[in-house]
């Protein structure tokens, strides 16, 4: 397994923090969006787009690229920010989020922006598509990997577990899925809406390799991806324990910011907390 130098970790953390600032500015400019679940998944996206995945922003349809599917499509602000900072489209375009005629729709649209592999938003569907991509890669004898980011609220969707069975049945070891386990969904705590625990045991029972990590620890995220590449004949689910609204004190574990944009004063406070000189 790769030993990652401190400067590499620091750079990825810097990029994650930059994405967080973009999320705050984007949702404020739009007056809507989903900051909470975007902020909880930012560290994972930073690791994938700036270190783990093989991709070419100047050639988005490169045949041998790794694929990424955002199954929790409402976290689009963080996804868009990662794509823009990677070079898929101008960073300045981020502030057009959810505007009429913008390419940055409220949920990712494959026909709108380069770098998006699947239009998502209907929860539960992304993992199925990611596994289909993985099976296609095997049939085409391609070595690229498929990464998928799921939300914990969508674990209540039956299609997730159908996909889980398929992934194990076809031994799709070219898949690494992440579960953003921030424990909050739109109507409340996941364990009150529809209990998910014991979630790790469930995924293992469905035949998946499961790795539990701190989803805000960059080193643990990278090491989980490395470990997943070594697994044979099983897909991997990385169960990442996260904090909804991570990085902004008044958004952390705050259900209200699941789908509410910050106001002007909240935006200034959030950006200050994220280290921006305003």
Model pTM? 0.97
Question: What pLDDT is stored for residue 2 in this prediction?
Answer: 81
Mean pLDDT of the chain: 97
Q: How far apart, in whole angstroms, are the C-alpha atoms of residue 188 and residue 172?
A: 33
Tens digits of per-residue pLDDT, 120-163?
999 999 999 999 999 999 999 999 999 999 999 999 999 999 99
Q: What is the CA radius of gyration of the chain?
A: 17
Backbone φ, ψ for residue 190 (5° rounding): -60, -35
Confidence of residue 277 (pLDDT cuts 50, 70, 90): confident
Order the strands of the 209-214 sheet from edge to edge: 67-70, 146-151, 175-181, 236-241, 209-214
Tens digits of per-residue pLDDT, 5-55?
999 999 999 999 999 999 999 999 999 999 999 999 999 999 999 999 999
190, containing H or E segment: helix 190-193
| Lookup: tokens for 62 | 């490169």
Question: What pLDDT is stored for residue 74 in this prediction?
Answer: 97
Residues 6+ apart with CB under 8 A from 256: none
Q: What percent of the chain has pLDDT over 90?
A: 98
What is the b/e burial string over 47-58, where b = at least 16 CB atoms within 10 angstroms of the residue's CB? bbbbbbbebebe
Strands 184-185 and 175-181: unpaired
Read off the pLDDT of each residue in 259-275 and give the average, rounded to a whole number.
97
Confidence of residue 265 (pLDDT cuts 50, 70, 90): very high
213, containing H or E segment: strand 209-214
Q: How far apart, in whole angstroms, are the C-alpha atoms of residue 278 and residue 192?
A: 39
Question: What pLDDT is stored for residue 278 in this prediction?
Answer: 64
Confidence of residue 276 (pLDDT cuts 50, 70, 90): confident
Read off the pLDDT of each residue in 166-173 and give the average, rounded to a whole number.
98
Tens digits of per-residue pLDDT, 181-194?
999 999 999 999 99
Residues 6+ apart with CB under 8 A from 128: 159, 162, 163, 166
- In order of 28, 135, 173, 241, 278, the CA distances from 170 in angstroms are 44, 8, 9, 27, 52
Tens digits of per-residue pLDDT, 87-114?
999 999 999 999 999 999 999 999 999 9
Quick one: fold of 6-273?
A: Rossmann fold (3.40.50)
């Amino acid at each position: 397994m790769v030993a990652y130098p401190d400067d590499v970790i620091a750079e990825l953390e810097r990029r994650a923090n930059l994405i967080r600032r973009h999320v705050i500015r984007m949702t404020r400019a739009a007056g809507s969006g989903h900051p909470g679940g975007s902020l909880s998944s930012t560290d994972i996206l930073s690791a994938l787009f700036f270190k783990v995945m093989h991709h070419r922003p100047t050639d988005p349809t490169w045949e041998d690229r790794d694929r990424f599917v955002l199954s929790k499509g409402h976290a689009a602000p963080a996804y868009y920010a990662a794509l823009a900072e990677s070079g898929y489209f101008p960073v300045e375009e981020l502030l057009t989020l959810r505007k009429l005629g913008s390419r940055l729709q409220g949920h990712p649209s494959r026909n709108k922006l380069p770098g998006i592999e699947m239009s998502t938003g209907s929860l539960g569907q992304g993992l199925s598509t990611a596994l289909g991509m993985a099976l296609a890669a095997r049939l085409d004898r391609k070595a690229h990997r498929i990464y998928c980011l799921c939300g914990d609220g969508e674990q209540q969707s039956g299609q997730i577990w159908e996909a889980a069975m398929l992934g194990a049945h076809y031994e799709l070891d070219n898949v690494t899925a992440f579960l953003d386990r921030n424990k909050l969904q739109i109507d409340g705590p996941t364990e009150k809406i529809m209990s998910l625990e014991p979630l790790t045991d469930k995924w293992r029972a469905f035949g998946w390799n499961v790795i539990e990590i701190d989803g805000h620890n960059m080193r643990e995220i990278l090491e989980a991806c490395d470990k997943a590449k070594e697994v044979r004949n099983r897909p991997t689910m990385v169960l990442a324990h996260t904090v909804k609204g991570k990085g902004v004190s008044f958004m952390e574990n705050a259900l209200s910011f699941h789908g509410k944009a910050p106001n002007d004063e909240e935006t200034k406070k959030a950006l200050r907390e994220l280290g921006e000189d305003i």
